Amino acid sequence: MDTLEVKKTLLDINGIVLAISIVGLIILFSYSSRYFFALMNFRVILETMSVLAILAIGAHFLLVGGEIDISFVSVLELSAMVVALSSPGNTFYIILVALLAAIAVGIVNGFFTTKVGIPSFLVTLATMVGVRGIVFLISNYRSVLLRNDLVPQIFYGRFLGGISSAVFWMLGAIVVSAIILKYTRFGRWTYGTGGNERAARLMGIPTDRVKFTLFIISAIMAGIAGLILASRSLAARPRMGDGYLMPAIAAPILGGALLSGGRGSVIRTTLGCLVLTIIINGVNLLGLEPAYRETFMGSILVGSLSIRALQQKGGKIPFKEAVKVFKRWKFFGMHNRKIGGEDEKEEKVGDKV
Amino acid sequence: MISPKSGGPSPKEGRGSGVVLECRNISKNFAHIQALNDVSFKLRKGEILGLVGDNGAGESTLIKINRGVMSPTSGEIYVEGEKKKFNSPRDSIREGIQCVYQESALVEQLTVAENFFIGQEPVKPYAKGLFKFVDYKKMREEANKYLARMGFHLDVMEEIRNFSGGERQAVAVTRALYFTPRILLLDEPTTALSEKAQTRLFTLFQKTKEICPMIFVTHDLDDAIQLCDRIIILKLGGITFESEIKSGLRKEHILQHM
């Protein structure tokens, strides 16, 4: 990435908001829980984040391309279940079968969206439900143990100072995806297709083929995430992907991706994942009910989207105006504090008298 | 993959009076509507051919067929005597046919440089050609240089949405010319432009027609008379009139056929 791009990425308003959110959350949770600001906990955060980040990057690809995939939660479950059911077979073979099962769903999504012309939200909603049904059927509604020693080693084994390999899978996904989107023709075509599909097609970009590939990439990412989850718990169970749908879609959006396509950044999507994972971790450490976690996540998402809406409306974030409004806002007690201060001063003067 | 500057012949090869593009008996039906009915015409080297007609006369459909956006129901297309079938815009780009559209065909979220090379990004080989990555430096430099040469001084790193309609169209036209096309299709490219910008573009087209012949689609007869060497009038999907412009042609005479 050249300097201009680094500058552009870092100075992007979404990047700034995410960076401030991360620092703010770290300060907040460090102050609230003495277990938060510890090396061990940061390792836990990275490991927890890995599955979410891989799913979010897959979802991000499709969002940039102007489509959406919500079936990845079921694809994750399918890949986990297939690897567990195929175990203890040949390690390479069972991983391949699990990933091929995931790719098959990606092909179905791609086919019905690009060839039949059904909106991707509806297609992936249908495959999400359908694949979940398949997972129930093949597992007979029960958890299945992963009876292969090598698969957990590959996807969740400890390396380099006890860091889980899932973190390295996540880092690999981030680097490869960032390079693909930024530096390959396919990546540029993805932005073009998402930004203005008609213009992209008229300029010779095979938009259907681009979208088809994006669905397969999303499915592969979900397949890898499923293998990591199965390796982490040494078992696969139906509905083990529950809870990933909202954050995996929210993370790219927090990072500046648009549902209409053409925008998004892998780095900022990763930062979005970090924000959401810190919230999950912090709320858990504080022993709060999961409802707080959801409230936190929802608030951050609404806040981020509001800033972006303001930005799009005015071209720039009206910081000066915002500060003026903030100062005038008696609700926050700033005005009262000033009066209070004067009162206090008067009292002191009175005391002296 | 299409490589930039891979399009057509050299300027010298483009000279002469030979036929570059020929459409033979092109018809196009949309359900019960016949958009084109047995249309035949030739585009010769070094000329600008005007396709003039009211809305729905079929001239844009004809451009779309030559661009590969849609296939004709019947009829054939010949490029320099060779029969061609365009299944997608990519096929026509491969044959050196570039197009400028009324709505510019630009992606708002991308920069001028990215839009300039969209679909035909230059790549640089790495690791002994194992990987090929988009060459941003070349994109920036070439777009900057070529736009400046055409008289348009734009910040190529700025997103295209921040520019006026005229500037966007300037990018679209310059982009089409950059790839040294064999044939340039102009589908109402001056509709959104000011008179000044239009005059500038017309001068540019006149200068470059020797390198690449053009088909200029317009509803405005005055524009066609000003720019073109020959015009064809289309009405209800059929050709009603065809003539050289330089033969003392009167506008009133042409209007009778529209």
When the pLDDT of each residue in chain A is averaged and rounded to a whole number, the result is 85
Collect all residues of chain B within an 8 Å Cβ-Cβ radius of residue A206: 88, 90
The answer to whether position B114 is within a domain reads no
Q: Which residue has the higher pLDDT, B50 or B151?
A: B50
Give me the residues of B, 135-154, that contact A with CB < 8 A: 136-137
Q: Which of B105, B110, B123 sits opposite A191 (nearest CB)?
A: B110
Residue B52 belongs to domain with CATH number? 3.40.50.300
- Across A214-222, average pLDDT: 96
What percent of chain B has a predicted confidence (pLDDT) above 70? 91
Q: Do B89 and A198 touch (CB under 8 A)?
A: no
What percent of chain A has a predicted confidence (pLDDT) above 90? 55
Instruction: Output the CATH code of domain A3-317.
Output: 1.10.3470
> Where in the sequence is the domain holding B15, given as residue range(s)?
11-109+182-255
Collect all residues of chain A within an 8 Å Cβ-Cβ radius of residue B103: 199
Q: Do B108 and A196 touch (CB under 8 A)?
A: yes
pLDDT, position A223: 96
Q: Do B134 and A196 touch (CB under 8 A)?
A: no
CA distance linking residue A266 with residue A52, whole number of Å: 13
Cα angle value A172/A178/A181 (rounded, 5°): 135
Cβ–Cβ contact A316 with B under 8 A: no
Pairing of strands B19-30, B48-52: unpaired
Q: In terms of Cα–Cα distance, which of A73, A91, A79, A220 is closest to A152?
A: A91
CA distance linking residue B119 with residue B157, whole number of Å: 18
Q: Do B157 and A4 touch (CB under 8 A)?
A: yes
Distances (CA, A) of A299 to A18, A57, A93, A341: 13, 22, 44, 32
Overall size of chain B counted in residues: 258
Cβ–Cβ contact B108 with A under 8 A: yes
Q: Do B108 and A203 touch (CB under 8 A)?
A: no
CA distance linking residue A226 with residue B192, whole number of Å: 52
Token reading at A206: 């095979």
pLDDT band at A7 (very low <50, low <70, confident <90, very high): low
pLDDT in tens, B99-127: 988 777 899 889 999 999 999 899 999 88
Q: Is residue A331 scored above 70 in pLDDT?
A: no
Helices (H), chain B: 11-14, 59-67, 89-94, 112-116, 136-149, 165-178, 195-208, 221-227, 251-255
Of the ranges A8-17, A30-39, A320-329, which is most confident? A30-39
Cβ–Cβ contact A206 with B under 8 A: yes
- Across B138-148, average pLDDT: 92
3-state secondary structure of A36: coil
pLDDT, position B128: 85
- Across A318-347, average pLDDT: 49
pLDDT in tens, B56-73: 788 888 999 998 989 999
pLDDT band at B8 (very low <50, low <70, confident <90, very high): very low
pLDDT, position B9: 38
**CA-based nearest residue in chain A for residue B106:** A199
Collect all residues of chain A within an 8 Å Cβ-Cβ radius of residue B118: 188, 192, 199-200, 203, 205
Q: Do A200 and B121 touch (CB under 8 A)?
A: no
- Across B124-144, average pLDDT: 91
Cβ–Cβ contact A133 with B under 8 A: no
Domain positions in chain A are 3-317
Q: Do B107 and A262 touch (CB under 8 A)?
A: yes
Q: Is residue B248 scored above 70 in pLDDT?
A: no
ipTM over 0.85: no
Q: In terms of Cα–Cα distance, which of A223, A303, A212, A248 is closest to A24?
A: A303
Q: Which residues are CB-contacts of B175 (< 8 A; sequence separation ≥ 6)?
A: B115, B116, B117
pLDDT, position B10: 38
pLDDT in tens, B191-216: 767 788 788 888 888 888 888 899 99
pLDDT in tens, A286-324: 888 888 888 888 888 887 777 777 766 655 555 556 556
Q: Which of A187, A195, A202 sits opposite B109 (nearest CB)?
A: A195
**CA-based nearest residue in chain B for residue A196:** B107
3-state secondary structure of A68: coil
Q: Is residue B141 scored above 90 in pLDDT?
A: yes
Give me the residues of A, 247-266, that contact B with CB < 8 A: 262-263
Q: Do A196 and B104 touch (CB under 8 A)?
A: no
pLDDT, position A233: 92
Q: Which of B2, B99, B108 sits opposite A195 (nearest CB)?
A: B108
DSSP string, B65-129: HHHTSS--SEEEEEETTEEE--SSHHHHHHTTEEEE-TTTT--TTSBHHHHHTTTS--EEEETTT
Q: Which residue has the higher pLDDT, A35 or A230?
A: A230
Give me the residues of B, 50-79, that contact A with CB < 8 A: 67, 69
The answer to whether position B99 is within a domain reads yes
pLDDT, position B114: 93
Q: Is residue A176 scored above 90 in pLDDT?
A: yes
- Specify the pTM: 0.83
CA distance linking residue B79 with residue B141, whole number of Å: 32
pLDDT, position B213: 92
Q: Which of A188, A191, A203 sits opposite B89 (nearest CB)?
A: A203
**CA-based nearest residue in chain B for residue A1:** B136
pLDDT in tens, B25-40: 999 988 888 888 888 9
* A61 in Cβ contact with A218 (< 8 Å): yes
Q: Which residues are CB-contacts of A123 (< 8 A; sequence separation ≥ 6)?
A: A108, A109, A112, A113
What angle do helix axes A39-64 and A207-233 make, rounded to 10 degrees? Answer: 160
The answer to whether position B206 is within a domain reads yes
* B224 in Cβ contact with B231 (< 8 Å): yes
CA distance linking residue A177 with residue A186, whole number of Å: 11
Q: Is residue A259 scored above 80 in pLDDT?
A: yes
CA distance linking residue A105 with residue A70, whole number of Å: 12
Cβ–Cβ contact A152 with B under 8 A: no
Domain count, chain B: 1
Q: How far is A196 from chain B (nearest CA, A)?
A: 5
What angle do helix axes A290-314 and A13-32 make, rounded to 10 degrees? Answer: 150
The answer to whether position B157 is within a domain reads no
pLDDT in tens, A56-91: 999 999 999 999 999 999 999 999 999 999 988 899
Look at A144-153, A162-171, A301-310 and tell me which has the smallest mean pLDDT. A301-310
- Across B1-27, average pLDDT: 58
